[in-house]
Amino acid sequence: MRILVYGAGNIGSLYAALLKESGQDVSILARGKRLADIREHGIELEDFVTGKKTTAHVKAVARLDAAEDYDVVLVVLPKNHISEVLPLLRESLSQKSLPQKSLPLKSMQTPSFVFFGNNAAGSREMTEALGRERVLLGFPGAAAVSDNHTIRYLILSKREQPTTLGELDGASSVRIEALADALRAAGFPVSICSNMDAWLKTHAAEISPTANALYAAGADIHRLVRTRDAQVLMLRAIREGYSALSKLGIPITPRNHVVFRWLPEPVLLFFARRMLASAMTDIKIGHALGARDEFRALAEEFRELVREAGVPAPSIDILSRHLDLQTEPLADGSSQIRRRSTPSRSRPGQIAMK
């Protein structure tokens, strides 16, 4: 399979390196210093759990050449950069026919584009630019941060969050099964989702408040662990997001995440604090420290869903203010917000204090 990874950030580099090491024909699109680094040093990885270091020598290209016949283009870019690359992706398709989902990837004359990352706005922008038959959605099942030339990574378990892929219509297909097999061979647990749009919106309902709570704690993970008010706002914002999705008829996906809607807040706080205090948290949400622009775009996409649903979302509103660097962080260790045992019935803007 010929794969182009479009985007040489931490996650794009990780997937390109492990796919290459598993025997796939992989190129990675990079620019500037990152392009020079990959060409000179390869992609250097360090497993967060084992400490094992490896180097993969992946072909690095500076642009998507229309003359190249890739089977898959894995677009691994921050959501706020997708719009600017769509014209470049479309330009590469001149004189190429539409792919057929029922055919093996190697028999296609044009690539399938897998948009691989945060997305609360849906696929319309991508399909209008590239054609519906060319677009698939996905999300990585890994976390990665950079340390000089080395990318430290953690592959998430299938139980926690596998690499997740889906056709827009939810159907199984030869091409998506082939891509899933390639990713499994590279060491990634994989799940094929029948409603990837709902999966991505559910993920946005969870990760946006989590990142914004981190910003509310001064962009300090250890401070977030100490600051109960930030955790309370995070959990309430997730519940508000779930309410908005349900009002719009969007199912919480995966279904087991609906537990957030009925577990008492003190129980959720216990598990949230334990999760945040884990040694793996630095790598799981540490990428948010350098991705405020992406999370600002994601928060605005999700707030559009909240506005459409017409549900109150005071906690989402409060946390969203901390996307602005000028907003004063919550006091370190603050615990003034009264915990609830049932979902909030507060009016917009109401936050009960001790």
- What tens digit of pLDDT does each residue of 141-192 get? 999 998 888 999 999 999 999 999 999 999 999 999 999 999 999 999 999 9
pLDDT at 96: 55
Q: Are 158 and 191 in contact (CB under 8 A)?
A: yes
Strand-pairing partners, residue 56, are: 43
pLDDT band at 280 (very low <50, low <70, confident <90, very high): confident
- Amino acid in position 105: L
pLDDT at 338: 86
Rg (CA), the chain: 21
pLDDT at 149: 85
Return d(Cα 339, Cα 354) in angstroms, integer: 9
pLDDT at 106: 46
Whether the CA torsion 179, 181, 182, 188 is positive or negative: it is positive
Residue 93 CB contacts under 8 Å (≥ 6 apart), including other chains = 66, 110, 130, 131, 134
Identify the three-state secondary structure at position 353.
Answer: strand
pLDDT band at 8 (very low <50, low <70, confident <90, very high): very high
Q: Are 257 and 206 in contact (CB under 8 A)?
A: yes
Run of H or E residues at 113: strand 112-116
Flag the least confident range among 172-176, 202-206, 240-244.
Answer: 172-176
265-287: burial string, b at 16+ Cβ within 10 Å, e else: beebbeebeeebeeeebbbbbbb
Give pLDDT tens digits for 289-332. Answer: 889 999 999 999 999 999 999 999 999 999 999 999 999 999 99
pLDDT at 94: 66
Cβ burial of 56 (10 Å; 0-12, 13-18, 19+) is buried
What is the token pair recorded at 172?
């199984």
134 compared with 349, residue with greater pLDDT? 134
Q: Are 222 and 193 in contact (CB under 8 A)?
A: no
pLDDT band at 341 (very low <50, low <70, confident <90, very high): low
Residue 99 DSSP symbol: P
pLDDT band at 282 (very low <50, low <70, confident <90, very high): confident
Q: Are 166 and 138 in contact (CB under 8 A)?
A: yes
Residue 234 DSSP symbol: H
Give pLDDT tens digits for 41-68. Answer: 999 999 999 999 999 999 999 999 877 8
pLDDT band at 131 (very low <50, low <70, confident <90, very high): very high
pLDDT at 217: 97
Task: Report the side by side order of strands in the sheet with 53-56.
Answer: 53-56, 43-47, 150-155, 142-147
Q: Count Cα atoms within 13 angstroms, Cβ side, for 30.
A: 23
pLDDT at 339: 79
